Amino acid sequence: MDSHSSRSVLRITETAALAALLVSLQAVTRPAGQYVTGSCVNAVLALSVLTAGLWSGGAVALLSPFFAFLLGIGPQVPALVPAIAAGNLVFVLVLRAGAKGPLWRRLAVWLGAALAKFAALYLLVVKLLCAVLPLKPPQIETFTAMFSLPQLVTALAGGGIALALAPPLRRALRR
């Protein structure tokens, strides 16, 4: 196997392991509530992009809400799944943009990524999907509560955890 093929196999394996870790954490932390589960999810999303790269981070970001939906984790409204995937993707794309550089830049990008994910999910779910889907008022209230401030808090928490863990993890992986 040539070095390119080896790298491809490694990337696919890392991505699969990170996606499995993310879905496992969702299932295990589900009883602890949105703040714990969301923080764990965002930490794995951020670690994926900060340690394994954009391809892996993007794949985990896009796939995880589909797997979670299939496993009965999170809102069981199919139309929300692509919106959650989009919010996740926004988070990893912004994080990747500032993954390296001085500490002040990484911190600014972390804050920007959390704000961008919050804004994307709030606009897509609360402002768009809650307005156009045939939802009952209690569902709209639930989704408004889920896809507003908790998204910012969990993106900040998970991103912060990942920023602390990524440098030693990259050193351990020799990256």
Q: Is the pLDDT of residue 165 over 80?
A: yes
Summarised one tens digit per residue, pLDDT across range 43-61 is 999 999 999 999 999 999 9
Summarised one tens digit per residue, pLDDT across range 75-111 is 899 999 999 999 999 999 999 987 778 888 989 999 9
- Domain count of the fold of the chain: 1
Q: Any idea what the CATH number is for the domain that residue 27 is in? A: 1.10.1760.20
Q: Which amino acid is at 2?
A: D
In this prediction, what percent of the chain has a pLDDT beyond 70?
Answer: 99
- SS (HEC) of 59-125: HHHHHHHHHHHHCCCCCCCCCHHHHHHHHHHHHHHHHHHCCCCCHHHHHHHHHHHHHHHHHHHHHHH
pTM, entire model: 0.94
56: how many CB neighbours lie within 10 A of its CB? 25
Burial class for 165, CB neighbours closer than 10 Å (0-12, 13-18, 19+): middle
Rounded Cα distance between 43 and 41, Å, is 5
How many Å from the N-terminal Cα to the C-terminal Cα in the chain? 21
Per the structure, the complete domain to which residue 81 belongs is given by 3-172
Q: Which has more pLDDT, 73 or 36? A: 36
